[in-house]
Structure 1
Amino acid sequence: MIQTINLQKLFSTEEVETTALNGINMDVKDGEFVAIMGPSGCGKSTLLNILGLLDNPSEGEYNFYGTEVAKMTERQRAQLRKGSIGFVFQSFNLIDELTVYENVELPLLYLKTPPDERKKRVEEALERMSIMHRRNHFPQQLSGGQQQRTAIARAVVAKPKLILADEPTGNLDSKNGEEVMKLLGELNDEGTTIIMVTHSPYDAGFAHRTVNLFDGKVVTENFHV
């Protein structure tokens, strides 16, 4: 389970101090799908960065499946992040110089997965995302939908406990966006925990509940039937 207790994040310059998160208390059960919504600047991406171990809170606690990580060093966070969290971004974040296959393989290389197991997992992920036929193509040779399928394959190839998705349909047309959300829904149905930042009420409808932020605070939660 994921739990934050009085999570706070401050950004300071010589002239001003900005409070991005102001006391976030949130529990996410194993296997839950949670959408995070709110206006621009409310702290959604900051919260996602902390949940993804890309940043540390200024104050408060963050418990990740029984491990209190808020006080971890960057090296410790990186080790935990590699095998436990998959990321899906609006901008896809694929490496242009690598093929589809090589992009998906990358997390397994970081984990030093043996070659035979690596090949098996990559091919399974590519087949699952219906992108195997583009395995030797480069990102710039793909459509937006194919790029996001590749990004999702990369996110799931290491079988993480948690997938974090930041506006996963933001650069897609409605048809491709719907297909991507169905893929995320299927992964969640199989037990993967998903936390997604979105501006789209349609996308949020795939989640079990929506957490609404405003000025760095949780203001409401809506549970979906």
Structure 2
Amino acid sequence: MIKIENVSKSFRTEEVETFALRGVSLDVNKGEFVAIMGPSGCGKSTLLNILGLLDNPSDGKYILDGTDVSSLKEKQRTGLRKGKIGFVFQNFNLIDELTVEENVELPLRYLNVSASERKTRVKEVLERMGISHRAKHFPQQLSGGQQQRAAIARAVIARPELILADEPTGNLDSKNGQEVMDLLTELNREGTTIVMVTHSRHDAAYTNRVINLFDGKIVDNMDL
């Protein structure tokens, strides 16, 4: 599903070049649930942004589901991102001016799905996430757990093959966090590939494999 080879990412400020990633190589098989762990500033979110086609590596190759995305034009990358990838963020990233169902519907609008199909799929996914009774509410009227459920609904509504999750339980209490991890695990069991950045060993225990990052490099197991 994912293959990155010798990927580096650097940022230059005046005459100073700072490396966020240094020669990272990684394979993620279709259907895996992988956690990326490491201390703050080690490059976890940078790596996730590259995997999600939100950023470009400074060097190296990225192959997504057999397609070398390193040489794609931005329009092609955007189309691939919308069609194959769902995102779940720590801060939910819901649009305050839209209701829950309107937030969840957005990816289908971008894909030009018909109105009738959008309505059916939104209803189904909200029921699955247990928040159909909140469909007409705005994000600020929801609890943190409900907001994250809405964010997951939005991430899966287009039926992506890959979900990228950045600290999905970081703003939740333990009960809501466990429910979110249960939802992600269920989606993974149905065949969705998931790559998750987390600081939580508890959350990482839900996954098939843990990748440790330190100073922009993949390292062997360590005390994080």
- What code does the residue aligned with 1:83 have? G
Q: Is the 8 A contact 1:90 1:170 kept in 2?
A: yes
Distance in 2, Cα, partners of 1:141 & 1:102: 14
What percent of counterpart residues are identical?
71
Per-residue CA deviation, residues 1-27 of structure 1 (Å, 9 max, x unaligned), is 110000110101113100111011100
Match of residue 180 from structure 2: 180
Match of residue 61 from structure 1: 61
> For 1:96-107, what aligned pairs fall within 5 Å after superposition?
96-107=96-107
Worse-matched range after superposition: 213-222 or 52-61: 213-222
Distance in 2, Cα, partners of 1:129 & 1:70: 35
Match of residue 123 from structure 1: 123
> For 1:82-121, what aligned pairs fall within 5 Å after superposition?
82-121=82-121
Worse-matched range after superposition: 68-77 or 173-182: 68-77
Match of residue 137 from structure 2: 137
Match of residue 25 from structure 2: 25
Distance in 2, Cα, partners of 1:208 & 1:26: 15
Distance in 2, Cα, partners of 1:48 & 1:208: 17
Q: Is the 8 A contact 1:56 1:71 kept in 2?
A: no
Match of residue 70 from structure 1: 70
Distance in 1, Cα, partners of 2:27 & 2:179: 28
Change (3 A) 1:155 1:26: same
Note the C-alpha offset of 1:119.
1.1
Match of residue 8 from structure 1: 8
Q: Is the 8 A contact 1:96 1:138 kept in 2?
A: yes
Per-residue CA deviation, residues 162-183 of structure 1 (Å, 9 max, x unaligned), is 0000000000000000000000
Equivalent residue of 2:71, what SS? coil
Q: CA RMSD in A?
A: 1.0
Match of residue 208 from structure 2: 208
- What code does the residue aligned with 2:183 have? L
* 1:149 to 2:175 alignment: no
Match of residue 45 from structure 1: 45
Distance in 1, Cα, partners of 2:73 & 2:131: 37
Distance in 2, Cα, partners of 1:162 & 1:221: 25
The count of corresponding residues between Structure 1 and Structure 2 is 222
- What code does the residue aligned with 1:141 have? Q
Equivalent residue of 2:199, what SS? coil
Per-residue CA deviation, residues 67-98 of structure 1 (Å, 9 max, x unaligned), is 00122222221111011100000000000000
Equivalent residue of 1:70, what SS? helix
Match of residue 191 from structure 2: 191
Give structure 2 stretches of 5+ with no counterpart.
none
Give me the TM-score of the superposition, normalised by structure 2: 0.97
